[in-house]
């Protein structure tokens, strides 16, 4: 790598979790935090046509949850608040109420939505080859 980028994303396990190409032999520890960035277009100075660098595209922040010798697993450590989401908790529904479009879990049961509940934020477009900046 270089001084700015600590490692690279080598696998995406889901929308919240990635695997990086750095592990305990590189000093990674549980709880380490990283900024995940993709590289965008080169930015050129219009006055002298000098390349200033490539734009970094922010994907999100992650925290290391599992460390192996040469790889580590990291998960999003940011949350979205559902304060602007309207919904129902199961205890507010009357028996026999007809409710459509209620979110369902994997077994098809209605999932409760609680006002103000926080939800783990997805990594925004993170992909294999993105870079990690330690902070």
Q: Topology of 7-43+52-82+120-134 in CATH?
A: Thrombin, subunit H (2.40.10)
The Cα 10–Cα 68 span in angstroms is 14
- Identify the pLDDT of residue 106: 62
Alpha carbon 9 to chain centroid, angstroms: 12
- pLDDT tens-digit series, residues 16-71: 999 999 999 999 999 999 999 999 999 999 999 999 999 999 999 999 999 999 99
Q: Is the separation of the CB atoms in 117 and 82 below 8 Å?
A: yes
- pLDDT tens-digit series, residues 80-130: 876 554 444 444 444 554 444 445 566 666 565 555 567 999 999 999 999
Domain limits of the chain?
7-43+52-82+120-134
- Identify the pLDDT of residue 80: 87
Tokens 């790598």 belong to which residue?
A: 1
Alpha carbon 69 to chain centroid, angstroms: 23
The Cα 7–Cα 129 span in angstroms is 9
- Identify the pLDDT of residue 114: 58
Residue range 5-13: average pLDDT? Answer: 97
């Amino acid at each position: 790598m270089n001084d700015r980028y600590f490692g690279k994303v080598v696998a995406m396990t889901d929308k919240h979790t990635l695997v990086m190409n750095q592990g305990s032999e590189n000093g990674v520890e549980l709880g380490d935090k990283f900024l995940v960035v993709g590289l965008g277009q080169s930015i050129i100075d219009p006055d002298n046509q000098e390349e200033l660098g490539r734009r970094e595209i922010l994907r999100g922040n992650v925290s290391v949850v599992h460390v192996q010798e040469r790889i580590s697993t990291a998960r999003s450590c940011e949350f979205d608040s559902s304060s602007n989401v309207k919904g129902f908790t199961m205890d507010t529904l009357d028996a026999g109420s007809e409710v459509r479009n209620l979110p369902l879990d994997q077994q098809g049961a209605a999932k409760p939505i609680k006002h103000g509940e926080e939800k783990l934020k997805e990594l925004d477009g993170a992909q294999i080859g993105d870079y990690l900046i330690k902070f």
